[in-house]
Amino acid sequence: MNFCDNLKSLRKANNLDQKTFAKILNISPKTISHWETGYTEPSISQLIAIANFFDITLDELLDRK
């Protein structure tokens, strides 16, 4: 699974819609959509915030084994 799919799966598993998750991260819902479709990628600080929110490692978030 790639980052885009992993992020979407994590968000849905935690019963979050894009708007709510965007509000948590203090970004726009469009940004979440862009990440989930692979149009853009988050910065390292955003990746850290996402991993911290889901209480996972960056390796898990990026699906690195």
State the DSSP code for 24.
H
Q: List the CATH number of the domain containing 14.
A: 1.10.260.40
**pLDDT above 90 (res 65):** no
Which residues fall within 8 angstroms of residue 43, CB to CB, at 6 or more apart? none
Sign of dihedral through CA atoms 35, 38, 44, 50?
A: positive
pLDDT score at 54: 98
pLDDT score at 49: 97
- The predicted-structure confidence for 28-59, as pLDDT tens digits, reads as follows 999 999 999 999 999 999 999 999 999 999 99
What is the tally of structural domains in the chain? 1
CA distances to 10, 20, 53, 65 from 16, rounded to whole Å, are: 9, 6, 12, 26
Q: Is 37 left (phi over 0), alpha (psi -120 to 50) or beta?
A: alpha
